[in-house]
Structure 1
Amino acid sequence: CHIQLTLRLHSSSFSVLFTCTSSNLQMASAMIPRNRPSEGQRILSRAKRGWVWNQMFVLEEFSGPDPILVGRLHTDLDVGTKNIKYVLAGEGAGTIFAISERTGDIHAMKRLDREEKAEYTLTAQVIDRDTNQPLEPPSEFIIKVQDINDNPPQFIEGPYKGSVPEMSQVGTSVTRVTATDADDPVYGNSARLVYSILEGQPYFSIDQTTGKVALAGMDREMREEYLVVIQAKDMGGHMGGLSGTTTVTVTLTDINDNPPKFSKGSYEFTIAEDLGIGKPGGRVKANDRDIGENAKSTYSIIGGDERDVFEIVTDAQTQEGILRLKKPLDFESKKSYNLTVVATNIRADSITGGPYMDQATVKIIVEDADEPPVFTKFTYLFDVHENAATNTVIGAVAARDQDAPHSQVRYFIDRHTDLERQFNINVDDGKITLAKPLDRETDMWHNITVTAAEVRNHSQISRAIVAIKVLDINDNAPEFATEYEAFLCENGKPGQVIQTISAVDKDNPSQGHTFHYRLEMLNNPNFTIKNNLDNSISVLAKHDSFRRQKQETYLLPIVVTDNGEPPMSSTNTLTIRVCGCSRDGFVQSCNVEAFVLPIGLSMGALIAILACVILLLGRHLGKRMKNQTFELRHKNEPLIIKDDEDVRENIIRYDDEGGGEEDTEAFDIATLQNPDGINGYLPRKDIKPDLQFMPRQGQHSGPNGVDVDEFINVRLHEADNDPTAPPYDSIQIYGYEGRGSIAGSLSSLETASSDSDQNYDYLREWGPRFRRLGELYSVGESDKET
């Protein structure tokens, strides 16, 4: 049905349209534009909008054969002519909502869902059908989708879990559940929820409005976990409402409300007396209905263990009490024990006021076992004087079989601890004797191991350590602490200290060492000694007339005696050399050669002068030989004789010094090498060469692998191309002489000629003379080189 009512108020008119449906009466209202003013009024007053819209409503989820009428639009410009056309724009215009161009009726073309979109904003306008021009400005209006109860409650966060201590008070909160409803909470009761418990009563309850779950007092040991089913229903819980369910898993947490309990009141164990210390001898267990920390217990012995032989500890894995030995058992002294064991909870509970405990009796029967003999001591300490006679009794060890039969014991020395077999032991009584004399200065202590074995059971063996200290006797004479060598200045004064001497003694007397010194010659004319009162003496000179040319060295015997019983002494010799010293007393020379010649020149200086004369003579002779050598170099014969025998013969003849064992030095190939000149050029020290010549780098053989032929060829080639080389070639001194001499060559190796014997004659004549001259006067190495 359609009912139209027109109201007029202050020249404004309204049109109200009522639409009747099968379910309810829905109203949509539209304010119709005011009456059109006259032309005069239009000029004198400002123009106003033609209409004002109100909200329209449409029911969600409505479905039918025809589109549902939402409302009607009407304007006062519509006077029944056909020139008016209604136009609709905005959300859902033309798709969801359609308008009749002539009547202004708005219909919903599709099924609407408020939960998808709750309202639509549209724009209505009236235009001229002929000109298609707007007759009024556009106006907005809203179409709201009216809610129906089409969504059930849902538990988004479910299923739930909660926990609460057992034995909690009635009404203790467990958890809180929350359901949501997609329907409109401000329209009707579609979203008004009511909670209830479907399963879980009478242990649990729930607040209908808040969803808070509470419980009554329950025992975890009866049941640990509960499953509660909760329902949420809309429409305030009335009939016809929609509902949803969820589950809550409630776990009761444990509290210490149960004491430990032994499975039986008494236990009995049999333990062998040879059970090792710390080894388990039995297990007891107290069960606890609680779990976790509340079920853990500690065990203790509160009675029956007066000797403190046992202890009980808790096995962390099995929660058992393990009986262990703290001391060895002895069947012969005590055959059984009656212990009182207590199990106590570790953790106390604030609710029940624990902890709890339980006790049981444990009887232990000691079983006899065949044990090894037991020494009276674990370690024995004996002492014996060094050099004591063999078979001397040092001491005795003793061991006893503790078992009832008391088997006889025999004793042995572990020879791994006495490799030199210095000790023996009597197998029956355990007396230890010397097998060899001992020397304290070699070994002060001897540690041996003695074993004791039962006669009836050789496998029962025990061991003891025997430490033997070797006592000192005075069997070593004192001697100088070091090998002294003293120096006496010629210009010294009487009473000057020549040397301070101390002594050492290998013995070690308990009162310490005291040494006494004396000269073997009591009235020595040259020297005397002074006691320094610290086991040392000072040797003093008696006069100042010591001269090297008179006597260069003095030997002073000194007797050193210790304070042992009996005293031991030894004679030690001090070597005193007479030396020349500076005014300050510093030793300058202890050689007597400066006083052999009556003149002021030393032998070295004379040898140097003589060498210069010989060098001038050699240079003169060398010039003559150089010309011959130069001619021989240009001959076609090879520079080096390749025959091994010829090379060997040349080397022997070249270094011939007059027979004797020194001839064998000619066979020493290493003399052909100069170890100082292997790495390069060594300059001459006697002359300055005119040209700086750098020799060719070549391979140098080591002293263990010398190729004579190759060595001579290489050196000969270097000499031939060296403008600063001397004119002579000497194999004995070839690698040591260096370069730079302008003297002619005296060597026959370079020429390789057999008809130039005068070169050899020169060497045979002058070479040995030079060497013999140096050896005759025993000149120093520096003088020989000069």
Structure 2
Amino acid sequence: LLLFQIRSDRQIGTNVIYSLEGIGANQPPFHVFVVDPHNGNVRVTRKLDREEIPLYNLAGFAKFPNGTEAEAKIDLKIKVVDENDNGPTFESSVLTAEVDEHSPIGSSVITISATDKDEDGTPHTKIAYYIIGQEPRDWFRMDKDGTIYVKNNLDREKEKTVLLTVTGRDMDGAPQGHIATATVTINIRDVNDNPPTLESEAYEGDIEENTFGVEVMRIKANDLDSDQDNWEAVFEIVQGNEDGYFSIKTDPNTNEGILFLEKPVDFEDVKDMNLGLAVRNKAPLVDGTGGAWGSKFKTYPIKINVKNQPEGPHFEPKVKPIPIKEGTPIDVNKVIASYPAIDKDTGKPAEDVKYLKGSDPQNWLSIDPKTADIKLNKMPDRESPFLINGVYMAEILCITEGMPSKTATGTVAIQVEDLNDHCPTLTSNFIPMCKPNKRIIVNAKDEDAFPNGPPFKFSIYPGSTSVDWKMRPYNDTAVLLTTSDELHYSLNDLMLVVEDQQKLTCPNPQKLTVFTCDCTETGDCSVKGSMKLLKPKTALGPAGIGLLFLGLLAVLCESLISSELKKLHELLSHVKIPWSDLKCSRLCADLMFHDHCQQQLIQLLYHRKAWQRDAEKTFIDSFLKGYYNKDKCKIAPHMKCCSFRSGGSSNQNHATYTHLSLQFHPPNLLEGLFFTFNHTSGDEKIVQKDHMLVFDYEGTGSSAGSVGCCSNLQQDCDLEFLNNLGPSFKTLAEICGGK
């Protein structure tokens, strides 16, 4: 094939010889290009492969026959023009990728690419990519640049792997382009999108009473997920295990929950138990869109039946008190007490048993081996070294006749002089219950010494409450009360009967008031939670808080000589006041006193010496001190009085006051009230830093209808905020405003 001609101008009339030098001529590969030595025609002798040598650099020479140069050499550059003679090639015909199930649609999975030996930058090497098949589901799409994206929701529980067949076509995908084919295997990674489930909707098991440390049952969990943390179950007892009888752990090999009995259960106290079991995974649960799961886990009920076991005898009470006065004449033939053991199953004195003495360090006692009658051997000596706190202790043994024999031990407490003359009483008659715990601990105390005190036995007086309370022992002096009822923000009363170890109770059942409220992190009732006791659906702002306690002051006035003050004191002792929420720089409190209230208040002030160490004494001396003082008008630096008006007559013991209005700067009336409640406990030596305005009329009437120590108010009391409290507080606002 003739390519071109090289020619010298000096060839005319003279012989010129032409030649080529360079790669492809006189260098390998040889003779690809040749030149006719007589006329200079350059020809190519074979097919050129651009992918081998894209450019040839040759030199052309023209010489006379004697070898001298006819012309200077000429450079010849021969570029091989590319043809689309190569197709795309994938690095591997089998590609793999991974993607999480439930990845958002449009998520990038992988970008594939192929190479082409043809010239870069030409259509011969511009490759377009396509998916020509995917099995078993159409879950992915591909752009022409080779990027594969999520097309539909991926669910690993439906398909674990998707196989794509992809092509790369040069000429930018034109039909005449060359094609390469590959497969892409996309593995769907597991996420925790399936909560674990149990094989059964409910479970039931049995335990033997008085046993512990045993496996109760195994509970199999199923999970559609596969990854370890997404599959492994975590069990939790969420209901019915307040006393800690049970525990549960996971067997990592079988993914079973193993329920253990940790503490012995007495059939006579608990015959069955109802537990609530929840199960989750180690990994957080996500929903079908890849977000966090918002719902709660399902609770599975488990009923545990307690099986009664034949039990040996036991002494009831465990400690038998025998009161004896020192110096009492002894008749060794006289029975001072009988202490038979009881059969737990029948509740009657045990049969086929014999009684023996155990420990009796000074041989004070003798016991009948059949009847358990106890007699004295000698005069009780209060100076005995074995007498502790006036009590001498001895042990009585009860041994069954059958085989194997069982032994019960009881204790006899010889009490010298001390008698069981106190009944157990509640330590508090007003207890908060935090929502949504639905549980409280009730404590009792007894002034009597052992064995006339704890352990106590608590019971609910029949018909005293409409709430379904469940009662379980907590310790020797307390009981745990729980309920499944939905208690709203309210006060709930019930009557309790508390027995000491000798079954002594107070003459009347004791009233317990439980109030439900929201609590702080430390377990104290918040102000917000306490407000709900008065108006469950009404939200109170700072002004509402102030108005509420104006109402409490009115209640206080009605109850100064009643037990209600103690209840108010106890309620307020549980409430923590966020004073920063009270935005008012002052509080103008208008209190309208009724006649009978005025009389009680004044009499209370004049006769407060009558209730030494009373709750009223603490409140009056620490808080109200300084309100009334004969012929004097005192005011603290942080407050000033708006006005004081009196009407009617006054006598030696009481006066009638129709209106009292005081203006306070912080600490205001509410802060003072709570400072008093929270920082005084009947200590008469507490020095009061705040003194309120004092008025006191005794013996004679006032000639003036209005008396004020400071009539210049400087600014009016702005009570406009009371208009925004809603209709529920309108009446109270009018009363507090003196209208």
**TM-score interval for Structure 1 and Structure 2 normalised by the shorter chain:** 0.3 to 0.5
**TM-score, scaled relative to structure 1:** 0.39
TM-score w.r.t. length of structure 2: 0.42
Q: Which has the larger radius of gyration?
A: 1
